Structure 1
């Protein structure tokens, strides 16, 4: 079997892997941001406390700095995954190998439905208005 005949299958695997890597990068970024938020909350709670010693505050500052570095790393990984996915979205259709995955903005949204529900705007319930007969 020649290398030319396996090229379409190899490219299809690469496209699928890039889509999966993008989704994983989005999830990893959301987890890193949540971790950073928890570290910030812990640090802020000690700001007003008099009984917290400076060593504890320094430990919390270091934890926040580490979480912030992880967020920056995950943002870089996500940007690389986006670039690769965009490249495959251009290349794959021109080679007629796989249908292009839609590059919708929802691709960067969290994968869980719970998060999507939490961000959905809520409308107040409408109460029937009593009208005079």
Structure 2
């Protein structure tokens, strides 16, 4: 049960371990391969409308790579589709902390915060 709460916490907040500047750490080739596999898996789940499972995989990606703006943006999209507006906003905001110009997060956050954005 604690693990589930930990995963939920990580799905809405960025984590930096050991106080190291994440931008200076180069991932290993194995980690890059694993992240690529996980992204493909999560994207496939989204295409199959398996949004809850996609949330779990995007969360796993974030555990491996806390600065993965794409994982946060897609996590926000999955939460938005599931109707979890608060978690969607948090995920989009986390993506925007990494890259303030992330288009998916900018659009998603606007749709969630501006009722007229969906109608136009």
TM-score norm. by structure 1 comes to 0.29
Q: Which protein has the larger Cα radius of gyration, Structure 1 or Structure 2? A: 1
TM-score norm. by structure 2 comes to 0.31
Using CA pairs below 8 Å that are at least 6 residues apart, which structure has the higher relative contact order?
1
